[in-house]
Amino acid sequence: LELGAYCGYSAVLMGSILQKRGGKLISIEKSPELAEVARSVVDFAGLSDIVEFRVGTAAGILPTLTESPFELVFIDHLKAAYLPDLKVLEERNLLADGCRVVADNIGIFISSLDDYLTHVRENPHYESHYIPSSMEYVDSIDDGIEVSTYRKEAA
């Protein structure tokens, strides 16, 4: 599951791995225009049978999902929605045991993600750690991701 498609770059990366290993990616994008750009990029990459786009807010779409629990959730959309959307996934049992939740842009938006980070770092259902990196295409800007492993049974 991907929250925030933007131009389809991450959907192509994840989709190409899923094409080799099996699986499907659902990508949720709020903007119809950006979803169309991302869909075109995914089509060009030959991954349309792997990546499915759903247009709308994550808050509107997540409660309607009926898929099996997700093994990977990549969060890269509105920063204020990281925690509320993760909580919807938890409440609806949409996270598989061992699911990796990867939150992007933690480094550059850390001041607005305190609640999210507290949740995944202090919740006994998660083992979480920060991986520093630089902003894509701009090595001089520090950024990073938070990788959290979800466990149905609390540690």
Positions marked active-site: 76, 79, 104-105, 136
The alpha carbon torsion through 86, 121, 25, 32 (nearest 10 deg) reads 50
Task: List the end-to-end C-alpha distance of the chain, in Å, as a whole number.
Answer: 25
Q: Distance (Å, rounded) from C-alpha 121 to C-alpha 78?
A: 20
Q: What does R_g of the chain's alpha carbons equal in angstroms?
A: 15
Task: Read off the tokens for 38.
Answer: 């991302």
